Amino acid sequence: MSKDVLDELKKEFSWFTETLCPSGFEEDFSRRLKELCRYYADKMKETSYGDLIFTHEGEGKKKVLLTAHIDIPGAIVTSIDDNGFIRFTYIGGLDARALPNQRVSLYPSNKKIFGVVGIKSFHLVSEDETSRVTPMDELFVDVGASSREEVEKLGIKIGTPMTFCPAINFLQNNIVSGVGFDNRACCTVLYRLLKKVREQRRTEDIFFAFTSREELGMVGSELVANIVQPDYAFILDIAPTGDTPDLIDSRVPVKLGGGPTFLIKQGEDIIHIPLYRRVLEIAARHHIPTQSCSMEWEMTETHKIQGIKHGVPTLDICLPIRYAHSAVESVSLEDMLQIEKLLLALIEEI
Ligand SMILES: [Zn+2]
């Protein structure tokens, strides 16, 4: 893997993680993304929910849809007290364990306000509090204001969205840690594919969809699939790894750096097995490592796309991730590049 490729990927990934949005509040990011991508597409379509579909027009032989959701879990403000402390509730899969002691960004219109999720000073914690997860409704955000009026002057009110503060840190061995990597790491890969397909003048009709509201019932993917009516669909999303000391007995065989990952069983569902087998063959031919696992809880956009038309063979191509939905989500740049390589092969050979 050349240094130039890695440097380019790091730069693109940084762009994709500097503006975050919780589900339902995608408009600002969607606007920025439109400006970034439109140059590389023959056509662009957007839905009223902020989904963007960039089309590469080929020769009309087959339509391939690639999706990556742009939203992340977050919160909205539910109340502001007389002393300027802010209470909130979750949007999507926000994890209460990951919240205390974190820096957050609040997004009143066209602004970003920093805050912290406060915790009791160490000296004031009772013994039983040390081993307890603080429920979300006991947590609060401190923006440094001293009254409700001061908070309101900043534009923060009930319904203002909030996420962890954007962050990206480069660790050893091409591992990157930060916020919003589910699913902005995959959005970065989708963007790179859009550019590559244009450079390579591919002859397939390819639809690159950046979707909204995955955390809220996968609304965007359903809209997009109904518009595109594809022959095949590939969903770019994440798969949690089981390769850290706390998960050693978890029976999750997925490893960071182990390559594109397939969730064969997701909850009650089994993926499209003929497509899965075909993809494994193509990956093997291109010497791309792959991993497979079963998740009792995972639900991805596949569930919304596979049932349209007369049935669309659909497969998740997942990026391994550690610490999902926390402020230190970690992924491997090498895995991102392997997914890119696999998809470039699949578009042609499927
Ligand atoms: Zn996701």
Question: Using one digit for the tens of pLDDT, what is the confidence trace for 227-245?
Answer: 999 999 999 999 999 999 9
296 or 79: which leads in pLDDT? 79
Centre of ligand 1 to C-alpha 348, Å, is 26
Give the Cα separation of 286 and 213 in Å (integer). Answer: 34
Q: How far is the CA of 182 from the centre of ligand 1 (A)?
A: 5
How many angstroms is it from 155 CA to the middle of ligand 1? 30
For residue 181, the one-letter residue type is: F
Going from the Cα of 134 to the center of ligand 1, the distance in angstroms, rounded, reads 25
pLDDT tens digits along 140-152: 999 999 999 999 9
Around ion ligand 1, which residues have CB less than 5 A away? 182-183, 237
| Least confident range of 1-5, 129-133, 164-168 | 129-133
Neighbours of 217 (CB within 10 A): 14
261 CA distance to ligand 1 middle (Å): 13
DSSP code per residue over 98-109: G-TT-EEEE--T
Closest CA to 337 of 206, 184, 179, 188: 188
Q: Where residue 330 falls among pLDDT bands split at 50, 70, 90?
A: very high
> Taking residues 205-211, what's their average pLDDT?
96
**Widest CA span of the chain, in angstroms?**
69
Helix residue spans in 86-180 (DSSP H):
148-153
pLDDT per residue as tens digits for the range 43-78: 999 999 999 999 999 998 899 999 999 999 999 999
Least confident stretch, 125-139, 275-289, 309-323, 335-349: 125-139
Phi, psi of 161, rounded to the nearest 5 degrees: -80, 160
pLDDT band at 298 (very low <50, low <70, confident <90, very high): low
Q: Which residues lie below 8 Å from residue 285, measured CB to CB, with a gap of 6+?
A: 345
Q: In the prediction, which pLDDT does 54 show?
A: 97
Structure tokens at 110: 């066209």
Residue 162 bridge partners (DSSP): 75, 106
- How close is the Cα of 145 to the center of ligand 1, in Å? 34
Q: Is the dihedral of CA 340, 284, 288, 238 positive or negative?
A: positive
Distance 60 CA to ligand 1 centre (A): 30
Which residue is associated with the tokens 């002859």? 203
Q: What is the pLDDT of residue 7?
A: 96
| Secondary structure element (H or E) that encloses residue 235, with its range | strand 232-240
pLDDT tens digit string along 101-115?
Answer: 999 999 998 899 999
Contact 176, 331 (CB under 8 A): yes
Per-residue model confidence (pLDDT) at position 331: 98
In which element (H, E) is residue 87 found? strand 85-91
Helix, strand, coil percentages (3-state) for the chain, rounded to 5, are 35, 25, 40
Ligand 1 centroid distance, CA of 84 (Å):
33
